[in-house]
Structure 1
Amino acid sequence: MTLIVFIKIVNALIFSFLSGVHIYWAFGGKWAAESVLPTKNGVKKLNPSPIGTLVVAGGLALFAFISGADLVEYKWGYVILSILFGLRAIGDFRYVGLFKIVKNSVFARKDTAIFIPLCIYLSLSNAFLYFC
């Protein structure tokens, strides 16, 4: 197995898992739901609807397909994914990302420890897949 195939499989598994978790949340699941949304002084800054959560799940499933597909036609998708997750890693300069101001919430700590490194990996790995 080549490095490219390994990265595609890892990325497809990550996106599939994240899609499944979003579907779980859309249908009322509570696991980890309180720590994945930005808050300030205990107040959620986002309140996604079940439909919005399903849209995100669909997008993540599409990302899994693009990651797992071995089709030249989808190579442009790697650029889009690289930019999208690079922007997510940078963040909104308030609640999310490397340059967030609010740093003392449960979400902010998980963002720093888990979400930002994951986004950086997804950004760099998709850039690698595009250029290979």
Structure 2
Amino acid sequence: MTFVLAQWIAAALVLISLIHVYWALGGQWASDAVVPLVQGDQGPRPAFKPSALVTLVVAAGLLMIALMVSLRVGLIVPAIDHWSLQWLISAIALMMFARAIGDSESMGFFKEHAESKFARLDTWAFSPLCVVLGAGLLAVAWA
């Protein structure tokens, strides 16, 4: 069961990483729905403008997490059952849960600004995905 769960988690993380690479290379598909909006002087504005370099760093981080999951259960090489990998994956799971809870202003389940396209997707897709990934990562880490 854990092996199949790890396959799904790794596949999801690789897919999300590839989307980040697409954005870093200048792709525009769905880019208007992935940055939270904050209230500015002249109405809502993006909370930040991610650079190509930062977007590539996020993509690399997601690939590294997929690699750790793969190493933990033996998707690539025989399973690595080292305590440090177990705790690192657990820490990442906690970060996923923290992302789902959010910053109380623009992202997460408890955000204040809930009327933008990002906010709706965050409530119904991004935050639930973080909860599912976090739970899956904990299951992989401790199985």
Same fold (TM over 0.5): yes
1:129 aligned residue: 140
Structure 2: stretches of 5+ with no match in the other structure: 72-78
Task: Specify which of 58, 61, 66 is matched with residue 59 of structure 1.
Answer: 61
* Greater alpha carbon shift after TM alignment, 18-27 vs 72-81: 72-81
Q: Is 1:13–2:24 an aligned residue pair?
A: no
Kindly state the Cα deviation for residue 78 of structure 1 after the two structures are TM-superposed: 1.8
1:43 aligned residue: 45
Cα distance in 2 for partners of 1:46, 1:68 equals 32
Q: Is 1:27–2:4 an aligned residue pair?
A: no
| Structure 2 length-normalised TM | 0.87
Cα distance in 1 for partners of 2:44, 2:22 equals 23
**How many positions carry a matched residue from both structures?**
130
The letter of the residue matching 2:51 is S
Cα distance in 2 for partners of 1:107, 1:88 equals 14
Kindly state the Cα deviation for residue 81 of structure 1 after the two structures are TM-superposed: 1.7
Cα distance in 2 for partners of 1:65, 1:104 equals 36
Contact in 2 for aligned 1:81/1:122 (Cα 8 Å): no
Kindly state the Cα deviation for residue 5 of structure 1 after the two structures are TM-superposed: 0.2
Kindly state the Cα deviation for residue 46 of structure 1 after the two structures are TM-superposed: 1.4
Cα distance in 2 for partners of 1:42, 1:67 equals 38
Q: How does 1:104-119 map to 2 (within 5 A)?
A: 104-119=115-130
1:87 aligned residue: 98
1:58-114 deviation digits (Å, cap 9, x = unpaired):
100101101111312322232122111011001000000011000000000000110
| Larger of the two Rg values belongs to structure | 2
**Residue 63 of structure 2: SS of its match in structure 1?**
helix
Cα distance in 2 for partners of 1:42, 1:22 equals 24
| Structure 1 length-normalised TM | 0.94
Q: Percent identity?
A: 32
**Residue 72 of structure 1: SS of its match in structure 2?**
coil
Contact in 1 for aligned 2:69/2:140 (Cα 8 Å): no
Cα distance in 1 for partners of 2:140, 2:97 equals 15
* Greater alpha carbon shift after TM alignment, 47-56 vs 74-83: 74-83
1:111-131 deviation digits (Å, cap 9, x = unpaired):
011001100001111112222
